[in-house]
């Protein structure tokens, strides 16, 4: 008997779904060349089985400041065990593809450390790791396409059994109109109980059925919030619309700490949902359940069938992002199977090809086309609902730093939100969640489903001196920090706090001005007599731009003294350049004060980070 066909294992760790997309694409491309592939999330795969695999492709994303996705944490802990030894993975071949953003300091950090650890454990690389970059005009696919071609040819050289017909022979597309991964069961309405479920049960049911949900994702909201205040913080003449929102808990309240993050599930525009349902010829009133197709053979529909069916329109509203997210490349490929107009078919096939990647990027991502807009542009395409359920990006909760303190604002949650809108190719685009929040009024009594989680800024003990850097909406978590310390100060001594705030113009963009200034006065949390201080940088109020890093340099002596007293640094705000510029300013201070080299200063700050005394929360 000849050697059996080689199989490829693709393991992914995804936070927002991009790594899952890339992993599925690698699996599809392997199978199109005749190599069977299995795909699994790192939290669904037993890492102790790794030594039994022959070839493994890892697709891992890096989030925030070099953090790994939640689904990777246990897997990574397992790999770090000392007792595994340097020959544990002998005989295993691997390739790593990373998804990251070169705007962040720790670019593709997770992919790099995984690659190194696998080598340390005795595994052999198939090809050099691929590093996809969000900043590239074509996104991570600019690196993924050539990386995959190299992967196939190297695997074939290692063992031709991977690709019996060679790495370049593709199975014809029409033979490969893959089955969708899910099927929809439609239920007769008269056989159903009326929907008496609580709101949170409906959300849990819909999102639990959604294939877009990431593994082990929480589908049931922690609780609901109701808006009690919607106040504009910026003044006339500002280029931004920044709001202060206050919410109260509906029924149950959740314990949270300063520095925590809340995730809100936004509502989508009703008319857009109706237009999507009409364009796709769906019945909004029908009741459905969604289940995996694989279970079809054994006559049951897996666990999903136990879910109470849900109205199709409700399912679309709560799980499918039809109005704000751009579809992926595979969406265009599947659309091409269903296009009945020849010109549309050709254009879609071109968009789905490697040659058409840049043109697709210009049409789709650069213009930020929504799923609905793309479907309207190709009227001859009628995709089955199963495919839409699989391929329409899932509606994701949006995360915001909490700007209140449970001590100072009991039973409330405050947020500081910049209402996002921008112009692209003469089209005005708006952020789904921020625009929706800005449109709400306390009178509407709308219950907003939310989830609470730890952010990158741990709540500091009151005995810890603080150096806070929060330009723009980066000040949000620090409003909570300082409000909390003000309450604590009433009964016990408090360590000093320095706060560096920056914005464009003092008169139009100075968020929470009265709050900071009242605490900077004699005896307040930010007063110099208490050992702290409040320092502002208004970048556009003078010919030469002044940013927070300039103010940090100005206050170098005080910053250094506070660091020597054991202070912790907290930095929050835009991820573009600010965190790097702040880090450079701090390096300069360390070099000056210690007389050491840049490398030494960098190591000094890294040690601070390792000790939990340098925390960054940045967003793009």
Q: Report how far residue 146's alpha carbon sits from residue 150's, in angstroms, rounded to the nearest whole number.
A: 6
C-alpha to C-alpha distance for 321 and 76, rounded to whole angstroms: 31
Dihedral (CA of 293, 294, 297, 299) sign: negative
List residues bridging with 279 in a β-sheet: none
The annotated binding site for FMN is made up of 14-19, 61-64, 134
CB 404 within 8 A of CB 259: no
List the 223-232 sheet strands across, edge first.
Answer: 398-401, 261-264, 447-453, 223-232, 242-250, 412-418
587: CB partners within 8 A, 6+ apart: 598, 601, 602, 605
How many CB atoms are closer than 10 A to CB 463? 11
- Location of structure tokens 């579809």: 327
Return d(Cα 270, Cα 322) in angstroms, integer: 11
* 201, two tokens: 């049960």
What is the end-to-end Cα distance of the chain in Å, rounded?
56
Place of tokens 């509606």: 395
Is there a contact between 97 and 125 (Cβ–Cβ < 8 Å)? no
**Residues forming a β-bridge with 87:** none
Contacts of 408 (CB under 8 A, 6+ apart): 480, 483, 484, 486, 487
Binding residues: 14-19, 61-64, 134, 368, 398-401, 431-434, 473, 539-540, 545-549, 581, 619
SS3 587: helix
Half-sphere exposure of 164 (CA within 13 A, CB side): 12
574 close to 474: Cβ distance less than 8 angstroms? yes
Can you say which residues are annotated as belonging to the binding site for NADP(+)? 473, 539-540, 545-549, 581
Site of tokens 């695997």: 155
Residue 450 falls in which region: left (phi positive, over 0), alpha (psi -120 to 50) or beta: beta
Could you give the strand order of the β-sheet that contains 310-311, starting from the edge strand earlier in sequence? 182-187, 287-292, 310-311
Interstrand relation of 421-424 and 427-430 (parallel, antiparallel or unpaired): antiparallel
CA 226 to chain centre: 25
- The DSSP symbol for 577 reads S
What's the CA gap between 612 and 68, in Å, rounded?
17
Secondary structure of residue 236 in the 3-state scheme: coil
DSSP 523: T
Tokens 């790791």 found at? 129
208: left (phi over 0), alpha (psi -120 to 50) or beta: alpha
Distances (CA, A) of 437 to 243, 350, 395: 9, 39, 16
Backbone angles phi, psi at 416, to 5 degrees: -120, 110
| Beta bridge partners of residue 453, listed in sequence order | 261
Q: Are β-strands 93-100 and 130-133 bridged in parallel, bridged antiparallel, or unpaired?
A: parallel
Of 263, 606, 253, 605, nearest to 455 (Cα)? Answer: 263
Binding site feature residues for FAD: 368, 398-401, 431-434, 619
């Amino acid at each position: 008997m000849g050697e059996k066909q080689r199989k490829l294992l693709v393991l992914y760790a995804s936070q927002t779904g991009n790594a899952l997309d890339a992993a599925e694409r690698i699996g599809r491309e392997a199978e199109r060349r005749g190599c069977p592939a299995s795909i699994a999330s790192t939290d669904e795969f037993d890492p102790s089985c790794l030594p039994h695999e022959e070839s493994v492709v890892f697709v891992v994303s890096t989030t925030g400041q070099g953090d790994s996705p939640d689904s990777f944490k246990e897997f990574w802990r397992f790999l770090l065990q000392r007792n595994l030894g340097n020959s544990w993975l002998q005989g295993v071949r691997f390739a790593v593809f990373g998804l990251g953003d070169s705007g962040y300091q720790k670019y593709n950090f997770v992919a790099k450390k995984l690659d190194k650890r696998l080598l340390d454990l005795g595994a052999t690389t198939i090809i050099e790791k691929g590093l996809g970059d969000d900043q590239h005009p074509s996104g991570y696919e600019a690196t993924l396409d050539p990386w995959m071609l190299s992967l196939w040819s190297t695997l074939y050289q290692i063992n031709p059994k991977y690709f019996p017909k060679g790495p370049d022979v593709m199975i014809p597309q029409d033979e490969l109109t893959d089955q969708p991964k899910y099927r929809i069961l439609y239920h007769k309405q008269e056989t159903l109980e009326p929907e008496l479920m609580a709101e949170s049960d409906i959300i849990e049911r819909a999102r639990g059925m959604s294939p877009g949900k990431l593994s082990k994702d929480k589908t049931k909201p922690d609780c609901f919030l109701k808006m009690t205040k919607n106040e504009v913080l910026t003044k006339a003449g500002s280029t931004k619309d920044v709001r202060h929102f206050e919410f109260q808990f509906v029924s149950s309240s959740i314990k949270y700490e300063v520095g925590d993050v809340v995730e809100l599930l936004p509502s989508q525009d009703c008319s857009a949902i109706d237009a999507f349902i009409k364009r796709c010829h769906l019945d909004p009133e029908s009741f459905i359940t969604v289940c995996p197709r694989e279970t079809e053979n054994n006559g049951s529909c897996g666990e999903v069938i136990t879910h109470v069916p849900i109205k199709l329109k409700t399912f679309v509203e709560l799980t499918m992002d039809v109005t704000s997210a751009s579809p992926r490349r595979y969406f265009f490929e599947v659309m091409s199977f269903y296009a009945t107009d020849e010109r549309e078919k050709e254009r879609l096939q071109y968009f789905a090809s490697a040659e058409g990647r840049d043109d697709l990027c210009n049409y789709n991502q650069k213009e930020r086309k929504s799923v609905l807009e793309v479907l309207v542009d190709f009227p001859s395409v009628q995709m089955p609902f199963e495919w839409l359920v699989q391929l329409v990006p899932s509606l994701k909760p949006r995360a915001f730093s909490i700007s209140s303190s449970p001590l100072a604002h009991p039973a409330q949650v405050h947020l500081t939100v910049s209402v996002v809108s921008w112009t692209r190719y003469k089209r005005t685009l708006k952020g789904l969640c921020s625009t929706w929040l800005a449109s709400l009024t306390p009178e509407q009594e709308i219950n907003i489903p939310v989830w609470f989680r730890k952010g990158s800024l741990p709540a500091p003990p009151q005995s810890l001196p603080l150096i806070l850097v929060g330009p723009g909406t980066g000040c949000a978590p620090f409003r909570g920090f300082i409000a909390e310390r003000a309450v604590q100060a009433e009964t016990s001594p408090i360590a000093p706090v320095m706060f560096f705030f920056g914005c464009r113009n003092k008169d139009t963009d100075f968020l929470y001005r009265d709050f900071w200034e009242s605490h900077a006065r004699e005896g307040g949390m930010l007063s110099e007599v208490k050992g702290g201080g409040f320092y502002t940088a208004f970048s556009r109020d003078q010919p030469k731009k002044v940013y927070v890093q300039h103010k940090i340099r100005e206050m170098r002596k005080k910053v250094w003294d506070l660091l020597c007293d054991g202070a912790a640094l907290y930095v929050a705000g835009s991820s573009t350049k600010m965190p790097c510029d702040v880090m450079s300013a701090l390096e300069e201070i360390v070099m000056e004060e210690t007389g050491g080299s840049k490398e030494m200063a960098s190591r000094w700050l890294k040690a601070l980070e390792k000790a939990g005394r340098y925390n960054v929360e940045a967003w793009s």
